[in-house]
Amino acid sequence: MNPPAIAIDGPAASGKSTVAKLIAKELGYTFINTGAMYRAITWYALRRGANPADAAQICALLPEIPLEFGKDGTCSTVLFEGRVLSAELTSPETNQYVSTIAAIPEVRAYLLRKQREYNKVEPVVMEGRDIGSVVFPDTPFKYFVTASPEERARRRAKQGLTDSITERDKKDASRACAPLTQAPDALLVDTSEMSIEQVVERIITDIRTKLA
Ligand code: DC
């Protein structure tokens, strides 16, 4: 039996990926980026010419979707025809439609199984929107990482990415199925005025306290 997953949720550009990666490194766990999984399905659906707003069209692709969810070293990856997807996942088109596709219950059910499988194989730090609330509701390690909208917009711009994060957050938080939410038993970490090192330290201290 692997230790329970470390669940890290939060809105876009809250710094949760950076933090989750560092925590995974510190603990020797594998880092799983679930946003990349939703992004890969979005990229593939657009490539096939499917209409993201037509759930039936998207669902029809799922049974034969040629994406592989793997890992490279200590990080999750998504492969298409043996190639790790990377820049495709943050293209403007993918950014624009990922929240629409992530709201489809069948897409979420499909990825939920894949996400849970990772923790059967090895210990994981998993980052997303519904990890503490839906994917691993029983884990004692739940963290909701956020920052003010201004700070998140600033961080996104610094990465050179144009992504309307407010709009995406609104869609992610208002969908009926597994919305972006802070689980009632999650520790809230507002990173607006914290360095990355301070955030990692805060979360690692909590994990170690609970493990002791
Ligand atoms: O973490 P990210 O910004 O790369 O995620 C991209 C989108 O995927 C996000 O806007 C909503 C969706 N997502 C989700 O619905 N559930 C998750 N666990 C992770 C991401």
**Single-letter code of the amino acid located at 171:** K
176 phi, psi to nearest 5 deg = -75, -35
Q: Show the tokens assigned to 51.
A: 């209409």
Q: How far is the CA of 212 from the centre of ligand 1 (A)?
A: 32
| Residues with Cβ within 8 Å of residue 193, at least 6 apart in sequence | none
Rg of the Cα atoms in the chain: 16
Task: Note the pTM of the prediction, 2 decimals.
Answer: 0.95
Question: In DSSP terms, which residues pair with 76 in a beta bridge?
Answer: 71
Q: Is residue 107 within 6 Å of ligand 1 at its C-beta?
A: no
Question: In DSSP terms, which residues pair with 30 in a beta bridge?
Answer: 124
Instruction: Per-residue pLDDT tens, the chain, 212 aa: give them.
Output: 889 999 999 999 899 999 999 999 999 999 999 999 999 999 999 999 999 999 999 999 999 999 999 999 899 999 999 999 999 999 999 999 999 999 999 999 999 999 999 999 999 999 999 999 999 999 999 999 999 989 998 888 887 776 788 899 999 999 999 999 999 999 999 999 999 999 999 999 999 999 98
In whole angstroms, give the CA distance from residue 202 to residue 111: 29
Work out the number of other CB atoms within 10 angstroms of the CB of residue 65.
Answer: 16
Q: Is residue 14 within 6 Å of ligand 1 at its C-beta?
A: no
Nearest alpha carbon to residue 29 among 180, 211, 189: 211
Q: How far is the CA of 9 from the centre of ligand 1 (A)?
A: 10
Residue 49's region, left for phi above 0, alpha for psi from -120 to 50, else beta, is left
Nearest alpha carbon to residue 152 among 107, 114, 100, 190: 190
Q: Is residue 99 within 6 Å of ligand 1 at its C-beta?
A: yes
Q: Is residue 186 within 6 Å of ligand 1 at its C-beta?
A: no
